[in-house]
Amino acid sequence: MVTEAAAQVTPSVGDDIPTVDQLEQEGDIAADYIEEFLDICDLDGDIDIDARNGRAYLSVNAAEGANLRVLSKPDTVTALQELTRLAVQNKTGSFSRLILDIGGSREAREAELADLVGRAIERIEAGSADAALPPMSSYERKLVHDLASARGYSSESEGEGRDRHTVISAL
């Protein structure tokens, strides 16, 4: 169950922020979908539901030696996250911004992005006016913006669709 404190968010102008009840419903639907998927794949996993920043977060973890790593590859997590979002949307009728983590895959990706931002900043410090990163999802671009800002750099998203990417520059 999601606690109200865990679902606290800072509203932005024009944002339709889901209520705690809506996030709980999203999490429950997503957990049922993932549990059924794991059963079909004959994989064991414990599912945790949380809510932060107006999103439901689902984490799937298993004991050491379980074979969740077959699902924890970035492309696989992204695909399964999209399928899970569609399952939630089908049941609720509303777009879902659910985030799925399998076996620590999100934490590993955040570390990769921090390294990528670090290398981009090194290029800027070596004299480049800016540094463009490869295309990535809106969630990953948000993480990059936060990482760049924390290091005292500015960043902007550029491009359209699958080519949308982040460009980091000095303030």
Phi first, then psi: give them for residue 85, nearest 5 degrees.
Answer: -60, -40
Dump pLDDT digits (tens) for 119-153. Answer: 999 999 999 999 999 999 888 999 999 999 999 99
pLDDT band at residue 9, thresholds of 50, 70 and 90?
very low
Confidence at residue 115, expressed as pLDDT on a 0 to 100 scale: 97
Confidence at residue 65, expressed as pLDDT on a 0 to 100 scale: 61
Show which of 46, 70, 103 is a domain's final residue. 103
Rg of the Cα trace of the chain?
18
* CATH number of the CATH domain containing 163: 3.30.1370.50
Judge whether 99 lies within some domain: yes
Q: How far apart are CA 28 and CA 136, in angstroms?
A: 28
What range defines the domain where residue 136 resides?
Answer: 107-170
Judge whether 125 lies within some domain: yes
Show which of 82, 103, 124 is a domain's final residue. 103
Integer angstrom CA distances of residue 119 from 65, 70, 142: 34, 29, 18
Say if residue 117 is in the same domain as residue 91. Answer: no
* CATH number of the CATH domain containing 87: 3.30.300.20
Show which of 103, 132, 149 is a domain's final residue. 103
Dump pLDDT digits (tens) for 77-122. Answer: 989 999 999 999 999 999 999 999 998 888 888 999 999 999 999 9
Span 44-49, mean pLDDT?
A: 92
pTM over 0.75: no
Say if residue 117 is in the same domain as residue 54. Answer: no
